[in-house]
Structure 1
Amino acid sequence: MAGHIENFYDDVEGPEEESFYRPHRHVPSPPTSLTERDRPYLTHRPDRHTAEAFAKLSEMRSKNKLCDVVVKAGDLTLNAHRVVLAACSPYFNAMFSGGMKESQQGIVNFQSVHPKAIEALVDFCYLATVTVTMDNVQELLPASSLLQMHGVVDACCTFLASQLHPSNCLGIRQFSQVHSCSELWKKCCMFMQQRFPEIALHEEFLELSFQDLCIILSDGNLNVRGEEQVYEAGLTWIKHHLDDRKRLIADLLRCIRMPLMSATYLSREVHSESLVMDNFAGRGLLLEAMDHHLRKHYMRDSTNPQATLSTTPRHCPGLEYLFAIGGSGPPVSENNPFLDLCECYDVDKDEWRQVAPMNARRSGLRVASVGGYLFAIGGFSAVDTKALTMVDRYDPMTDSWRLVSPMNCARRSFGVATLNSCIYAIGGITCGTYHDSVEKYCPRSNRWTFVQPMGVERRAVCAASLEGYVYAAGGHDGEGLLDTVERYDPQRDTWTVVTNLSSPCCLGSLVALNGKLYAVGGYDGANVLQSLECYDPSSNEWESMAPLPIQRSGFSSAVVDGHLYLVGGCNNLSKVSTVDKYDPETNKWSPVAGIGVRRSGLGVGVAPAFLF
């Protein structure tokens, strides 16, 4: 044992110094003569030496002492030291050491560079300080780029990125492209994608060339609520200089994904627009879009044609925010634990912030995201804990809530899935009655309609959609917990049974991610679970994955940027505020910032955060 302990200390701290711990051993006496390496020494490295030296050089420059070069730009004349300029600028270094005429003449004359920019850059060589403002950045950035002073270029780009606004984004984007500032250009493009509806209202957008306009309107990453916004922006551009631009209407419409507009909008707004109807090609594009809706909705076309660019919705990556809504937590007032709280999570900043609360406190609700809106559905209220039919819609653009059409059946402990821009409310319980019923909500018509019920009643069921199907897993049928999984086909309006879960459970979560389903946590009748199972529809099999960091039930989950997030819930008998993130590529979990209030029975959804 002693040997093991000694080995442990050797491994962790390194072997002991024998001369210190074992004094009985002979210690050789110091040599009579010291080698050069053994002589005492001290290294003096003052922190301010470089700054003080350059400050003295700047003072000498101001008094024209030992200066050996003159820098001229317009009416500006500056004395300087070649060695200082060459040390700070590769441009000057090449000029003075490469045999150029300026190295012999002692005068450097800049013909097309702004004098103030040259003055600021020469000062920077001595003082290591430059101030970037909106008044000088357009001259300072190209001048610093010419002199290859990359640190100043980066400072200019950082400043311009911090000043991005819908009114100037397109101008800064063009400026960055002219001067080959690739990182700034990328930031401008991302800003333009994220804030397109606002940018389209400003003069810079209306004065774009047609070529630049087409590039922007063809961008598949525009952050828009619907294709109607893109159409209206293009139409506004045309009408800004109507006589010169009206001939371009058909080419402009080809940049817009017209089949993605609603049939009502096409028939009412586009069909009544004379610019479109007076153009032969424009009328043809409108008819193609209407034909798409006719085949899809009215002719019950059962075929599944390959998606084209014009029928592929736009998606703005990196702009999806996670929203945690409602639930029950510690009593906040009058011993009432029910919450109207709505929090929004910024993935990049790893922080939560509060947004507008719901119209009423409730728990056990479910949240679905469709068309850039969040729908808070059902649950039970703080008044009498009875199941609710109510549905609230949250608009991230205006940070506001409004009531929409209620469900046909009051539900709590139910499942929710979205498919083809519709919401499915599945199972649940009302006043002791377990439900097998399923109803579908169409946001465009604002109507709920019943579809084929499940094969079994399910309370506390998990639901998700994947590859054109809706799945319902686990739950409780009034007799006991279930491990069965059903799949709904909306084309045939039928449910079929697929492979069971590994064990019965309820109060967990079912999430679609990367073409697979993940069944997460829950309760098995005896214990809160820590399990994660993955279902592959191609093999019709479940596989165990990395367990959750903690046991969880009564939580909610969603996918943001290819990662699965678990929010709140209960760890055994204790409510938690923790949030865990799962990476399917590495099969690993990691913690992120927690919600502000520990709670369970909350709903979680994902939507573009237009406000932030």
Structure 2
Amino acid sequence: TVQDFSPSYEKCDVNLRTLGVLARLLCIIQETQDDMSVLAKLSVKLHYGKNGTIMKQEARLSNFPLTPETELKGLQKPIISKKTDAAHRLPTSAEHPASSWVGLAKSGLPPEPPRVRSRGTALSELWLQWDVHEEQRRYFRLSEMMWRDSLSLVEEEDPHMKVSLGSSDMGVSAHLQSSKTGTTRFFTSNTHSSVVLQGFDQLRVEGLLCDVTLVPGDGDEVFPVHRAMMASASDYFKAMFTGAVSIKAVYCCLQIALIQTLRHKLRGMKEQDLMCIKLHGVNKIGLKKIIDFIYTAKLSLNMDNLQDTLEAASFLQILPVLDFCKVFLISGVSLENCVEVGRIANTYNLTEVDKYVNNFILKNFPALLSTGEFVKLPFERLAFVLSSNSLKHCTELELFKAACRWLRYEEPRMEYAAKLMKNIRFPLMTPQDLINYVQTVDFMRTDNTCVNLLLEASNYQMMPYMQPVMQSERTAIRSDSTHLVTLGGVLRQQLVVSKELRMYDEKAHEWKSLAPMDAPRYQHGIAVIGNFLYVVGGQSNYDTKGKTAVDTVFRFDPRYNKWMQVASLNEKRTFFHLSALKGHLYAVGGRNAAGELATVECYNPRMNEWSYVAKMNEPHYGHAGTVYGGLMYISGGITHDTFQKELMCFDPDTDKWTQKAPMTTVRGLHCMCTVGDKLYVIGGNHFRGTSDYDDVLSCEYYSPTLDQWTPIAAMLRGQSDVGVAVFENKIYVVGGYSWNNRCMVEIVQKYDPEKDEWHKVFDLPESLGGIRACTLTVFPPEDNTGSPSRESPLSAP
């Protein structure tokens, strides 16, 4: 019974709907108990004011013995026992001031929940809750308390739906949809699907309503199932029972290489009308696992039943089971079973598992070599491992010996000798190892491919200066660690020039030291050819006029963490730019004790010599440069104590300079780099008046196609005479000097071209001006700890 005194029906529409749901649930619960007659009559009065707010609210349960406390005008909390009809007092409002309760409780709960025929659940108690909070919100809540579950419906006046869960096992979600005619509420049961699944499983166990029988291919055991259930979980069964083929089913067939199954589906499955179907591609263990999963959403796996389950899941296209198998395999990979897990992954096209096994072997290859499992590796996986740059803690000689051991394990494997040896980096072995251990192996002398590999190694080692332009897969460093690298610079306080070579470890967020230079450098030039780092010119002592400029050139080999000296410049120079272009180095302009330079030198690694090329129209120092499209671009700088904004382009094929559109801002001691098809100019400084300098915070990029400059976001802090590097399409500006603060800085700023944003990312270990930076693939220092020594086959001439 609902009495409503609101001015209009619309304002109480939600209340009526909610009360209707409550009353309906009361009736349902009553019906679940055979010995329960009509329990109660629910009467609710809602009194509204003119503005639609509730002025008064009353509720009464009648038709059974109740005390006057039952009327919910106060905050007393009686509980009525069905058997005794006696009122038992609950805690008062002082303990729970926010709620009032009336309830019906079934006392004396049995040790096991009884089965209820019509609902499949057991009732323990029923509560009707009416909460009145301080903020004047109202709630109608009905909880059907099960042995472990509860169901709650809640209404709020604001209006928003709230859901109260009695336990994590069961609940209701709801949302509102408003329209001109009122508000509609949609309820969703979070446990309905599991209840239906349990119901289907019970029907299967009891053999009720099953309409097809599945028979595994390896026996006569039968599995009665429901067509609808199997088809809903598997495209294979859907096609079998309906004759319909979905795009997803075709894709799955192709993905798991079941071509025969695909053809079977495309012509329509004759089994759709059969009552008993034999599945020839599935054995009884696998079929039982699949059926149990479809009906229970549960799967138990061990190494004994794994392959049977995988085979069935692949054949029947039960993708969740395949995912479970992948997780099971990955979680159990070890040195003892990695080969077998890899075989399973390859057989059933488990890409994620296959990738994980590869990574596991790469990280644990030295340990795997000491087990008997190594020789069981298939050729394809061993070849992948031997070719990988991620393979660590093994010398090339050790890898060669391992490959020979694998080849000799079975005579038929010798046909793979040439293919396997292509993955060994013979040029990185010492000449002594090549002579003593490699050339003594018979097939290395008789197989033409293997002989050519030895000749390649010999030629590579005989031409040390040419190595940067002779790089190949067999001469590259065995490392996948590319990092931001810094070199040299002058310290802030002591004005001491550094010779430190450092790399930044992005994962550890710290700087780590590599082999230092033999001599300190700042305001030098650096460039990379074939992952060899060249350090050219600069100064070894602090001098702002460039009077201590040097002409020496050194080359760093990250494969052995060693330096060697190469041919020197024709002229000493500092404050210059160095670019690597088409396998050559170009040193442009600068200054020395004699003054400003307009000359340009080119280094040829094949000849190990420097030669002059076309010079600039005027001398420049403090300029910047970059390369793009086979050309070198030089911007800004200082000429005769005047800051410039011009842009010049050098073509090494024609040996000519051309003028391009000038920058929008004059600047010197700035930096320049290329990202994509844009040339970025960053920072620097310029004159303020006639005798002082200011930082230039503005930045811009040049489009070679349009011959046009575009401004971008300004730097956060001024930096001049810096190191710059592009790493993962972000620009890093390292250290330098701030003219506004009159000091060297340790800051590293990162620019994101896509977002046009600057961020301070980390600091150098110390403030350094005249520092230089690049990216280089190296062996992180921790990889050298406990690893076999990498002896260079070269000695500096």
1:260 to 408, 424, 427: 427
Q: 1:174 to 1:608 in 2, by over 3 A?
A: farther
2:455 to 268, 281, 288: 288
Q: Tell me the amino acid that sits aligned with residue 200 of structure 2.
A: L
Say if 2:399 is the partner of 1:233. yes
Say if 2:236 is the partner of 1:91. yes
Are the aligned partners of 2:678 and 2:701 in contact in 1 as well (CA < 8 Å)?
no
SS at match of 2:188: coil
Q: Tell me the amino acid that sits aligned with residue 494 of structure 1.
A: S
Q: 1:191 to 1:75 in 2, by over 3 A?
A: same
How far residue 90 of structure 1 moved from its aligned partner, in angstroms, is 1.9
Tell me how far apart the structure 2 counterparts of residues 209 and 472 of structure 1 sit (CA, whole Å): 51
How far residue 143 of structure 1 moved from its aligned partner, in angstroms, is 1.6
- TM-score normalised by length of structure 2: 0.50
Q: Tell me the amino acid that sits aligned with residue 466 of structure 1.
A: L
Match runs of 1:174-213 below 5 Å: 174-181=343-350, 185=354, 204-210=373-379, 213=382
SS at match of 1:526: strand
Aligned to 1:449: 565
SS at match of 1:92: helix
Is the radius of gyration larger for structure 1 or structure 2?
A: 2
Aligned to 2:27: none
Match runs of 1:42-121 below 5 Å: 42=184, 44-48=186-190, 49-73=192-216, 78-98=223-243, 106-110=275-279, 113=282, 115-121=284-290
SS at match of 1:113: coil
Tell me how far apart the structure 2 counterparts of residues 383 and 165 of structure 1 sit (CA, whole Å): 54
Aligned to 2:750: 579
Structure 2 gaps, min length 5: 1-178, 244-267, 617-632, 639-666, 687-692, 784-797
2:312 to 139, 143, 154: 143
Aligned to 1:152: 321
Are the aligned partners of 2:342 and 2:353 in contact in 1 as well (CA < 8 Å)?
yes
Tell me how far apart the structure 2 counterparts of residues 309 and 140 of structure 1 sit (CA, whole Å): 45
Match runs of 1:454-603 below 5 Å: 455=571, 457-459=573-575, 463-472=578-587, 488-490=603-605, 491=607, 492-494=609-611, 496=613, 497=615, 500-504=634-638, 508-511=670-673, 520-524=682-686, 525-532=693-700, 544=709, 547=712, 550-551=715-716, 553=719, 556-560=723-727, 563-566=729-732, 569=735, 579-582=750-753, 589=756, 594-595=761-762, 601=768
SS at match of 1:425: strand
Are the aligned partners of 1:405 and 1:448 in contact in 2 as well (CA < 8 Å)?
no
Are the aligned partners of 1:393 and 1:401 in contact in 2 as well (CA < 8 Å)?
yes
Q: 1:70 to 1:243 in 2, by over 3 A?
A: closer
Tell me how far apart the structure 1 counterparts of residues 726 and 456 of structure 2 sit (CA, whole Å): 32
**Number of equivalenced pairs:** 506
Say if 2:287 is the partner of 1:125. no
How far residue 467 of structure 1 moved from its aligned partner, in angstroms, is 2.2
Are the aligned partners of 1:475 and 1:507 in contact in 2 as well (CA < 8 Å)?
no
How far residue 465 of structure 1 moved from its aligned partner, in angstroms, is 2.5
Moved more, 156-165 or 233-242: 156-165
Q: 1:153 to 1:515 in 2, by over 3 A?
A: same
2:496 to 386, 394, 411: 386
How far residue 501 of structure 1 moved from its aligned partner, in angstroms, is 1.1
SS at match of 1:223: coil
Tell me how far apart the structure 2 counterparts of residues 546 and 197 of structure 1 sit (CA, whole Å): 53
Tell me how far apart the structure 1 counterparts of residues 594 and 533 of structure 2 sit (CA, whole Å): 28
Q: Tell me the amino acid that sits aligned with residue 312 of structure 2.
A: A
How far residue 511 of structure 1 moved from its aligned partner, in angstroms, is 4.7
Aligned to 1:326: none
Are the aligned partners of 1:471 and 1:488 in contact in 2 as well (CA < 8 Å)?
yes
Are the aligned partners of 2:680 and 2:699 in contact in 1 as well (CA < 8 Å)?
no
Are the aligned partners of 1:428 and 1:434 in contact in 2 as well (CA < 8 Å)?
yes
Tell me how far apart the structure 2 counterparts of residues 448 and 296 of structure 1 sit (CA, whole Å): 14
1:251 to 397, 414, 418: 418
Write the deviation string for residues 454-499 of structure 1: whole angstroms up to 9, x where unpaired. 756424x664533222345687869999999865444432354466
SS at match of 2:555: strand
Tell me how far apart the structure 2 counterparts of residues 428 and 517 of structure 1 sit (CA, whole Å): 28
Tell me how far apart the structure 2 counterparts of residues 447 and 308 of structure 1 sit (CA, whole Å): 18
How far residue 39 of structure 1 moved from its aligned partner, in angstroms, is 6.5
Aligned to 1:12: none
Tell me how far apart the structure 1 counterparts of residues 589 and 363 of structure 2 sit (CA, whole Å): 39
Q: Tell me the amino acid that sits aligned with residue 696 of structure 2.
A: V
Moved more, 567-576 or 379-388: 567-576
1:431 to 542, 561, 568: 542
Write the deviation string for residues 479-529 of structure 1: whole angstroms up to 9, x where unpaired. 999999865444432354466413455664455667997654444442234
Q: 1:462 to 1:509 in 2, by over 3 A?
A: farther
Are the aligned partners of 2:734 and 2:747 in contact in 1 as well (CA < 8 Å)?
yes
Are the aligned partners of 2:489 and 2:523 in contact in 1 as well (CA < 8 Å)?
yes
- TM-score normalised by length of structure 1: 0.62
Write the deviation string for residues 372-429 of structure 1: whole angstroms up to 9, x where unpaired. xxxxx4345699452234557999999997774642x322343432335543223145
Tell me how far apart the structure 1 counterparts of residues 756 and 636 of structure 2 sit (CA, whole Å): 21
Write the deviation string for residues 225-257 of structure 1: whole angstroms up to 9, x where unpaired. 79x955642431322563745955852565246
Structure 1 gaps, min length 5: 1-36, 324-365, 368-376
Q: Greater relative contact order (Cα 8 A, min sep 6): structure 1 or 2?
A: 1
Q: Tell me the amino acid that sits aligned with residue 430 of structure 1.
A: N
Tell me how far apart the structure 1 counterparts of residues 335 and 586 of structure 2 sit (CA, whole Å): 42
How far residue 91 of structure 1 moved from its aligned partner, in angstroms, is 1.9
Q: Tell me the amino acid that sits aligned with residue 566 of structure 1.
A: Y
Are the aligned partners of 1:556 and 1:569 in contact in 2 as well (CA < 8 Å)?
yes
Tell me how far apart the structure 2 counterparts of residues 140 and 591 of structure 1 sit (CA, whole Å): 53
Moved more, 479-488 or 267-276: 479-488
Q: 1:253 to 1:113 in 2, by over 3 A?
A: closer
Write the deviation string for residues 78-124 of structure 1: whole angstroms up to 9, x where unpaired. 54322111111122223333596766664455566354543343233
CA RMSD of aligned residues (A): 5.4
How far residue 440 of structure 1 moved from its aligned partner, in angstroms, is 0.8
SS at match of 2:189: coil
SS at match of 2:534: strand
